A and B are shown apart, each in its own frame.
Chain A
Amino acid sequence: MASQDLATWLPSEGGTVSRSRAVPRSVERGLAGGVGFFVLWWAVAATMPSYLLPTPIAVLSAFLTELTTPATLTIGTIELPLTELTVVLAQSLMHYLPGLFIGVGLGAPLGLVLGYSTVLDEYVSPVVSLLRPIPPLAWMGLVIVWVGIGHAGAAVIVSIGAFWITFFAAYGGVEELPQEWVEVAESLGVEDDLTMLRKVVIPGSAPSIFTGIRTSIGRAWMIVVAAELFGAPGIGYRIIHTAQSLSMDLSMAYMLALGLVYLGSDVAFRGLREVIEP
């Protein structure tokens, strides 16, 4: 019954308890690790041609060039003046964001309801057990036939990945709720399922759901890149395309961009969560 999320809530043996907070990390050590990484990279890169491994400086300069070189993003008849890097980033976001929202938007409520309702769960769980092990990318064939491999197709693949992660996070969150929470609520006058969901089940499993969404945010970027290997425009497509012409500095510049974007979305979500549940 003691999941990680619950563990932060439950009091320890006796005495006063405070919510565990992340200990501030040592900035010096982090900096030292980073410098060490770049020195090592540089040393290795110096011994080989740049189409095998470019130096950090070459990658950084390619990154800055791509970030500043003007390019145009065309959406239907609209033309937006952006830069090389921001154009592909925007293209990726055009399937990343809808895919993420649809996956999370379906996964969280379905996971909650199936976790809560034993009867519904019995109907659905055979299908769930059958579909769950299928990796999102395995749906590609079906998706190409039905919607093609543009933004919509990639969005569908992303949504499948985000769906399962959020679904099981919500489902598990409900399953791990202490039975006493429900029983106390009943003894305090909760009689219908809707009130129980609203007052106990949803707030009680919120930490699990948040963890699921956060995992989805990261995993969805990985799925985006994989889906773009099949030809959807975006940052993953560019990583492969540039590597095929041995422009390894460009390819790695886009990898760097991807890392930064992932980091940014994770920080943004954690910030959002702090605002929602302080």
Chain B
Amino acid sequence: MTDAFIEYDDVSKRYETEEGVVRALDGIDFSIPRGGFVSVVGPSGGGKTTLLRLLAGLESPTTGMVRVDGHPVTGPSPDRGLVFQAATLYPWRTVAENVRFALEVGEMDPAEADRRVEDLLSMVGLDDRAGAKPTELSGGMQKRVGIARALAPDPEILLLDEPFSDLDVATRESLQADLLDLWNRLGKTVLMVTHTVGEAVRLSDAVVVVQGDPGRIDRVVDVDCHRPRDPETDSFKPYVSAIRGTIRSGGATATPNREDSYS
């Protein structure tokens, strides 16, 4: 990884709880170049989600600093789009109104916002469902709307927290392909947390393994094979086994029910 766009500079995160201090992350030090696609994998409770929330600005590091383009992250920003695992669409808004949310908040000219919403919905293949309520959509479609909503303010960075984990295999694979396509076309920098190693290898430039108590970066695996990647090929499998091996050997100390308990 060359020029650092996103930088974790010796970041640690501790929580004060009633049972004492819980150390979630320690000594996190890595960077992502502009336009890169990095996935974070590791056992539950290993601090993956905390890592993402620090970059989102939803939490602040106890020590160290997270920087984007040289500027410290101090809070959430429309420049860092967020997609959660759960369908977090606003149920009182239609599909189009959900995508429009950031544009309303940013007081974009209504006619321009209309055009932008239209573009975004056709980008995720949902232009014909603009007027539907989120509950009328399938899980996969809801995810697409969530991604379109996060892309609305044209963020440079897209943060995905286990975005496809609650979908069936076929839907998940088609969404992975579409995400890759979006990433190619839009040139966003992506940080994705996932518990599916295959998904991480299929999509990412690099896979970061975070585990332990407190969570540390155990290993960074650069994935050097052409996209689209086929999980059945011989060039793909070694990455998966290498990452799985790392997790198996180091994940035993991770304790569940820690910082991930909010989700």
CA distance A136 to B118 in the complex (A): 53
A-B contact pairs, 13 of them (CB 8 A): A10-B87, A11-B139, A11-B142, A17-B135, A17-B138, A19-B135, A178-B88, A180-B88, A181-B88, A187-B77, A188-B153, A199-B104, A203-B93
A139 nearest CB across to chain B (Å): 36
B83-103 interface bits toward A, Cβ cutoff 8 Å, 1 = contact, 0 = none: 010111011110000000110
**A interface residues (Cβ-Cβ under 8 A, vs B):** 9-11, 14-19, 178-181, 183-190, 195, 199-200, 203-204, 206, 277
Scan B111-151; emit 1 where CB is below 8 A from any A CB, else 0: 00000000000000000000001111111001000000110
Known A-B contacts A11-B135, A16-B137, A179-B262; A187 and B150 likewise in contact (beta carbons under 8 Å): yes
For B77, list chain A residues within 8 Å (CB). 187, 189
Q: Are A188 and B78 closer than 8 Å at their CB atoms? A: yes
Task: Find B76's partner among A18, A180, A186, A195 (CB 8 Å cutoff).
Answer: A186
In the complex, residue of chain A having the shortest beta-carbon distance to the beta carbon of B167 = A14
In chain B between 152 and 185, which residues have their CB closer than 8 angstroms to a CB of chain A? 152-153, 159, 167-168
B137 cross-chain contacts in A, Cβ below 8 A: 16-17
Q: Is the CB of A204 within 8 A of B136?
A: no
Bound CA span A178–B88, Å: 8
Residue on A with the closest CB to B107?
Answer: A189
In the assembled complex, the CB of B65 is this many whole angstroms from the nearest CB of chain A, namely: 20
Interface membership of B216, Cβ < 8 A: no
- Interchain CB contact under 8 A, A14 and B168: yes
Tell me whether A185 and B101 are in contact in the complex, defined as CB-CB below 8 angstroms, given that A11-B142, A18-B136 are known contacts: yes
- Nearest CB of chain A from residue B13's CB, rounded to whole Å: 17
New A-B contacts (14) at CB < 8 Å, excluding given A19-B133, A199-B101: A9-B91, A9-B135, A14-B139, A14-B168, A16-B138, A17-B136, A184-B88, A184-B149, A186-B76, A187-B78, A188-B78, A188-B105, A190-B105, A199-B104
Q: Are A204 and B153 in contact (CB under 8 A)?
A: no
Q: Which residues of A contact B159 (CB under 8 A)?
A: 187
In the complex, whether B228 has a CB less than 8 A from a CB of chain A is no
B39 to chain A, nearest CB (A): 20
> Is B256 located at the chain interface by the 8 A CB criterion?
no
